[in-house]
């Protein structure tokens, strides 16, 4: 990703010519169906594929309907450490999260913006508990995440995708992390929200006090929460309840990711003559 | 877990078996709460050594290995200075790295004896391929290497004529074309499990390991 | 945060104390260290506050600027957080060393203030769709001794309480550009902000099964994981985050306990802070400065 702003001639920022859509409180259609026909607790169909970038050590691509994220992982390299004495016993995951400039309605700049940097950190914190960091002391594994299209839950998609990419890159891990997100406004809860639902729930609807969006990074095998990122307004009881609800759903996604990885390993055994490799 | 042709395939976080006295966690696995889990996606292998079953997971991809102290590495000499030389590690054991690591070989680590009489310029030259052992990490940024063993040192070195030189003693190598002799810290390459054709000297030097 | 090196023996000492609910400075697990608060010590800012939480010291200054409102919310103003990790605090922050931490802290703060329930941005509107106030909240970290974000959130709330926005009147328009006039400061026509619903952030550090509130730097070095919770005065959670490379057991009881503890502590903190601000505003003590 080019960072040198002097070399990029594009406009620094721009505004969409279309009128900003007013936030629609009636995203729930009749029969408690959402705008895209899902039920409140229903997830979008996940398309997930490892090994999509040939140059990378490991990579994965995820699609949740209109949310499209690609992730590549590279070989460990020596830490670009600033603090020499610090943390030599542990490796580090270095994440670069980027929304592509065309990913949303609003055009984004080529450089990492504030929320790109924030998401990079959130993703790093979500992935690090899953990785056996002690196996590569003083090294960092680079994880590059590019959101090609953003229609909500992009951080959750990135967590799942990066987890699969890390496994694909043969980085030793304790578990495959999965990311899930939920948005809520008033009594309505949207699991795996779309961009419009996210925006509405971040703002809240007039007269409703509770609203918000949260993303959880889960390590289902050891039942650990590696990231819990929330923004909104909610009571602790309800929040605690929602977290445990999402936890049960994480197991299903986890199974699916495991199955995908399993079949990827199988097909690579079948396709190439790995007999000598496996001696 | 799933198996194709008797092979067990696993993914990270999968329980492989209970850990016990005769089942221990090997490469690609980790142990937690009395169970052995896989940490890589790949094929499960159980290696038997002295009544002990070492449970391992072999990845289909090259492992992301990093040099650890004690490893024998193959490195290329980049810069030779009076007190040390800079190298880049190319292989660890028999695993070729996709990305080289920088390393330093200091004057006192070249030989086991008469350390202070070592002259770097009479031991290595830029472009030499050496075998070395990784020392415990002292400096954060670079690995330290040692060639203070008979089996370690220069393995391949090219003469000015551009041909690989032939070792003629512990300290000398000779060019087979114009017969010039050059001083090196020569490694005694052990023909471990390689078929070496003793007639053809150039071949012996090309393969320090499998 | 600022890393300090502890030996295993020192860690064990802290751990054993925490098991008995006694920490190495004599507190219980859910107690805060003494907090000092001072308002209005930066003269050139519209509002400022300095919070000292034992060894943690932060200075927050608010400056107002006139800006164009965001196109999707024309009747709202803007809130901008910027955290500066000064190399005074620790040499690790030198150069770009503190950048990552600064991004993390600034992002957390803006997430905590994102909901309208925390801070109503429409009070910052001047003319709908044309002009609004932008509050630049600059946080300067002078010393770090654990629980940075807690101190920053307190400082921010206090600084907002100290902030007064000048009144603006439109005196005419000239071919689409508006001419604004600021009321004289001498007129005293400055309006305070509505800061009462602003959240405080509480960091819970997990040490074994105990949750520590307001951990010192030494305790932070022992803890495996942390949970940051933003709590508004009306017992609502505005943000959460798990920083660092730790994770929590996804047990609903543990989470419920942690969240409830955070809310309890957060509400207490909010009340104490509000009382301190009120006291400060009525008594108006002379500025003490930094050396005291």
Q: Which residue of B has its CA nearest to A136?
A: B66
Phi-psi region of C99 (alpha: psi -120 to 50; beta: other; left: phi over 0): alpha
* Predicted ipTM > 0.95: no
**Tens digits of per-residue pLDDT, B100-150?**
888 889 888 888 888 888 888 888 889 899 999 988 876 656 788 999 888
What pLDDT score does A11 carry? Answer: 59
Number of H-type helices and E-type strands within chain B: 1, 17
pTM: predicted TM-score of the whole model, two decimal places:
0.83
**Tens digits of per-residue pLDDT, C234-262?**
899 999 999 877 888 877 788 888 899 99
Residue C107 in tokens: 């992002």
CB of B76 closer than 8 Å to CB of B91: no
- How far, in Å, CA of B7 to CA of B1, rounded? 10
Residue with tokens 């895209």: A36
Cβ separation of A171 and B64 shorter than 8 Å? yes
Angle at alpha carbon of residue A112, lines to A107 and A118, rounded to 5°: 105
DSSP 8-state assignment for residue A25: G
- How far, in Å, CA of C216 to CA of C87, rounded? 20
- How far, in Å, CA of B128 to CA of B124, rounded? 7
The dotted CATH code for B72-206 is 2.40.50.140
Q: How far is CA B203 from CA A139, B163, B191, B206, in A?
A: 36, 12, 12, 5
What pLDDT score does A12 carry? Answer: 59
Angle at alpha carbon of residue B144, lines to B138 and B145, rounded to 5°: 145
- In DSSP terms, C47 is beta-bridged to C62
Strands C35-39 and A178-185: unpaired
One of 3.40.50.300, 2.40.50.100, 3.20.20.70, 3.90.1150.10 is the CATH number of B2-59, namely 2.40.50.100
Smallest Cα distance from B63 to chain A, Å: 6
Residues 128-157 of A with CB under 8 A from B: 132, 136-139, 141
Q: Which residue of A has its CA nearest to B37?
A: A174
Instruction: Please check the confidence at residue A275 and state whether its pLDDT lies above 60.
Output: no
Contact partners of C by the rule of 3+ C-beta pairs under 8 A? A
Domains of chain C, start order = 8-283 (3.30.230.70)
Per-residue pLDDT of chain B (210 residues; tens, 9 = 90+): 444 456 788 899 889 888 888 888 888 889 888 899 999 888 888 888 888 888 888 887 766 677 778 888 999 999 999 888 999 998 888 878 777 888 889 888 888 888 888 888 888 889 899 999 988 876 656 788 999 888 899 988 888 888 888 888 888 888 888 888 888 888 887 766 555 444 444 444 444 444
- What architecture does CATH give domain A36-266? 2-Layer Sandwich (3.30)
What pLDDT score does C152 carry? Answer: 94
A222 to chain B: which residues are within 8 Å by CB?
13, 32
A75 to chain B: which residues are within 8 Å by CB?
64, 98-99
A266 part of contact set with chain C, CB < 8 Å? no
Residues in chain C: 292
CB of C220 closer than 8 Å to CB of C14: no
A171 to chain B: which residues are within 8 Å by CB?
64
Instruction: Please check the confidence at residue A179 and state whether its pLDDT lies above 90.
Output: yes
- How far, in Å, CA of A225 to CA of A223, rounded? 7
- How far, in Å, CA of A89 to CA of B77, rounded? 28
Residue with tokens 């070792």: B167
**Tens digits of per-residue pLDDT, A52-94?**
998 888 999 999 989 999 999 988 877 765 554 554 567 889 9
Question: Going by beta carbons, is chain B in contact with chain C, meaning 3 or more pairs sit under 8 Å apart?
Answer: no
Residue with tokens 């307004």: A233
Question: Maximum CA pair distance of chain B?
Answer: 66
- How far, in Å, CA of B60 to CA of A271, rounded? 12
Residue with tokens 């391992």: B56
Residue with tokens 């400039």: A101
Q: How far is CA A160 from CA A34, A43, A213, A216, C261, in A?
A: 24, 14, 18, 11, 30
Provide CB contacts within 8 A for B131, sequence distance 6+: B72, B73, B74, B75, B147, B151, B152, B153, B155, B187, B189, B208
Smallest Cα distance from A62 to chain B, Å: 19
Cβ separation of B64 and A170 shorter than 8 Å? yes
- How far, in Å, CA of C255 to CA of A240, rounded? 6
Per-residue pLDDT of chain C (292 residues; tens, 9 = 90+): 446 678 889 889 999 999 888 888 888 888 889 998 988 888 888 899 999 988 889 999 999 988 888 877 888 888 999 999 888 777 777 777 788 888 889 999 998 998 888 888 888 888 888 888 899 999 999 888 888 999 999 999 999 999 988 888 777 777 767 777 776 655 556 778 888 889 999 999 988 888 899 988 888 888 888 999 999 998 999 999 998 778 888 777 888 888 999 999 999 999 999 999 999 888 887 777 665 5
DSSP 8-state assignment for residue C86: -
Q: Where are the domains of chain A?
A: 36-266
Neighbours of C91 (CB within 10 A): 11
Residue C124 in tokens: 């910052």
Cβ separation of B13 and A78 shorter than 8 Å? no
A233 to chain C: which residues are within 8 Å by CB?
115, 117-118, 232, 236-238
Angle at alpha carbon of residue A98, lines to A92 and A104, rounded to 5°: 155
- How far, in Å, CA of C91 to CA of C143, rounded? 11
Cβ separation of A175 and B64 shorter than 8 Å? no
């Amino acid at each position: 990703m080019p960072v040198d702003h002097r070399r990029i001639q594009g406009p620094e920022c721009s505004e969409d010519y279309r009128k900003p859509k007013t936030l629609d409180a009636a995203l729930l259609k009749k029969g408690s169906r959402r705008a895209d026909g899902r039920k409140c607790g229903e997830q979008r169909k996940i398309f997930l594929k490892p090994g999509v970038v040939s140059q990378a050590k490991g990579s994965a691509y995820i699609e949740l309907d209109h949310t499209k994220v690609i992730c590549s992982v590279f070989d460990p390299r020596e830490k670009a450490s600033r603090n020499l004495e610090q943390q030599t016993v542990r490796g580090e995951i270095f994440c670069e999260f980027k929304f592509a400039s065309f990913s949303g309605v609003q055009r984004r700049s080529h450089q990492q913006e504030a929320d790109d940097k924030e998401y990079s950190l959130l993703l790093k914190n979500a992935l690090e508990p899953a990785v056996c960091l002690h196996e590569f002391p003083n090294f960092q594994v680079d994880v590059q995440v590019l959101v090609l299209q953003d229609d909500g839950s992009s951080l959750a998609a990135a967590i799942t995708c990066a987890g699969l990419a890390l496994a694909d890159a043969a980085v030793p891990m304790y578990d495959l992390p999965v990311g899930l997100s939920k948005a809520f406004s008033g009594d309505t809860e949207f699991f795996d929200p779309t961009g419009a639902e996210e925006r509405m729930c971040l703002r809240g609807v007039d007269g409703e006090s509770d609203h918000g969006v949260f993303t959880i990074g889960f390590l289902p095998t050891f039942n650990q929460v590696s990231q819990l990122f929330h923004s909104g307004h909610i009571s602790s009881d309800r929040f605690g309840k929602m977290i445990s609800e999402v936890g049960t759903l994480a197991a299903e996604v986890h199974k699916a990711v495991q199955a995908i990885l399993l079949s990827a390993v199988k097909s690579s055994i079948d396709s190439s003559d790995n007999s000598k490799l496996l001696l | 877990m799933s198996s194709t042709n008797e092979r067990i395939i696993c993914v990270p976080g999968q329980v492989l078996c209970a850990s016990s006295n005769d089942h221990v966690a090997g490469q690609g696995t980790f142990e937690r709460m009395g169970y052995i889990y896989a940490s890589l996606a790949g094929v499960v292998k159980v290696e038997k050594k002295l009544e002990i079953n070492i449970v391992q997971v072999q990845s289909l991809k090259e492992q992301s290995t990093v040099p650890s102290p004690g490893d024998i590495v193959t490195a290329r000499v980049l810069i030779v200075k009076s007190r040390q030389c800079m190298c880049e590690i190319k292989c660890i054991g028999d695993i070729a790295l996709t990305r080289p690591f920088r390393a330093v070989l200091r004057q006192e680590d070249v030989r086991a004896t008469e350390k202070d009489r070592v002259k770097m310029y009479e031991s290595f030259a830029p472009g030499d391929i050496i075998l070395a052992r990784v020392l415990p990490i002292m400096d954060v940024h670079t690995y330290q290497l040692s060639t203070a063993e008979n089996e370690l040192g220069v393995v391949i070195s090219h003469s000015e004529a551009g041909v690989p030189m032939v070792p003629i003693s512990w300290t000398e190598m000779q060019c087979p074309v114009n017969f010039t002799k050059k001083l090196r810290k020569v490694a005694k390459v052990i023909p471990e499990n390689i078929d070496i054709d003793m007639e053809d000297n150039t071949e012996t030097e090309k393969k320090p390991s499998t | 945060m600022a890393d300090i090196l502890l030996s295993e023996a020192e860690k064990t000492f802290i751990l054993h104390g925490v098991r008995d609910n006694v920490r190495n400075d004599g507190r219980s697990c859910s107690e805060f260290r003494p907090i000092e608060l001072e308002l209005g010590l930066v003269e050139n800012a519209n509002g400022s506050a300095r919070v000292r939480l034992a060894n943690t010291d932060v200075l927050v200054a608010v400056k107002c600027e006139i800006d164009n409102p965001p196109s999707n919310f024309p009747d709202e103003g803007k809130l901008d957080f910027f955290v500066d990790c000064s190399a005074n605090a620790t040499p690790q922050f030198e150069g770009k060393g503190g950048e990552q931490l600064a991004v993390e802290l600034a992002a957390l703060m803006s997430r905590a203030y994102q909901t309208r329930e925390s801070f109503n941005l429409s009070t910052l509107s001047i003319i709908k769709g044309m002009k609004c106030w932008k509050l630049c909240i600059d946080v300067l970290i002078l010393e770090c001794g654990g629980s940075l974000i807690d101190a920053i959130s307190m400082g921010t709330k206090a600084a907002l309480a100290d902030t007064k926005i000048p009144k603006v009147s439109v005196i005419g328009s000239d071919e689409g550009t508006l001419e604004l006039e600021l009321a004289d400061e001498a007129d005293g026509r400055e309006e305070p902000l509505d800061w009462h619903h602003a959240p405080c952030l509480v960091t819970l550090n997990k040490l074994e099964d105990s949750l520590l509130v307001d951990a010192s730097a030494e305790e932070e070095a022992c803890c495996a994981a942390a949970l940051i919770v933003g709590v508004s005065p009306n017992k609502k959670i505005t943000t959460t985050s798990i920083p660092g490379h730790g994770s929590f057991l996804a047990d609903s009881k543990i989470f419920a306990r942690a969240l409830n503890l955070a809310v309890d502590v957060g509400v207490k903190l909010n009340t104490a802070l509000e009382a301190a601000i009120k006291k400060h505003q009525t008594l108006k003590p002379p500025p003490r400065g930094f050396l005291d």
